[in-house]
Each structure stands twice: as C-alpha cells, then as structure tokens.
Amino acid sequence: MAETDAWTLLTIAALAGVTVLTRGFFFLSSRPWQLPHWAERGLQYAPIAALAAVVIPEVVADQGQLVQTWRDARLFAAAAGAGWFFWRGGVLGTILCGMAVYLPLRLLLGW
C-alpha cells in the first residue's frame, strides 16, 4: 500500500474542518434567524435555474458542440415536452410526451 504524504493528510484534515464548520454553522447560534426577504425570494428560483442549467445544454449540444442539424431527436422531444407542459401542465405528462417523441425518432430513424 502506498504511503500518504503529509500534504495529503493536511488537505484532508483541512477540508474536513471546513465541512464541519460550514455544515454546523447554523447550530452555533442559540436564537433562530431568518433569511432576508430578497434571499428567500431568490431561492425560489434556484431549482428552476439548476434544472435549466442541466437540461438546456444537453438538448442543444452534442459532444460540447452546438447541434448542427434539425434532425436531432432531442430537439423534437424537448419541443413536444414543452408543448405538453404549456397545454396540460404536470411533470409526468411532460416527461412521457417527450419520451414518446424521442424514442421512435432515436430508435427507428436513428436520429
């Protein structure tokens, strides 16, 4: 087994200390505290922003490059899912509609 050098051990200990401090920060205060109104309002948009940051690059890019052709199943599936969401709403229907368009285009036509 390879020996672990002192810098590696120091780094692990420092990261563990920072993790414990930041995770336990909220327990150090004895009185309850509230986030400012602007922070609470901003956090309402965090899940939407995170989802957009994950989904949009996956739909419009392939291997780090923008999609060059309209014959991409992901584009049609995203459009169908968005259409369903604005027409009927609901996450499950959106996913099912998008996959119902994506799978035939991908498996049968090879897009």
For residue range 29-83, list pLDDT tens digits in order: 777 778 889 988 888 888 888 888 988 898 888 888 888 888 899 999 999 999 9
Other beta carbons within 10 Å of 23: 9
Q: Do residues 97 and 84 make contact, with C-beta atoms less than 8 angstroms apart?
A: yes
- Given a cut of 80, whether residue 4 has pLDDT beyond it is no
How is the chain split into domains, by residue range?
36-108
The pTM for the full model equals 0.58
The overall average pLDDT reported for the chain is: 88
Q: How many helices (H) and strands (E) does the chain have?
A: 5, 2
User: What would the two tokens of residue 25 be?
Assistant: 């920060």
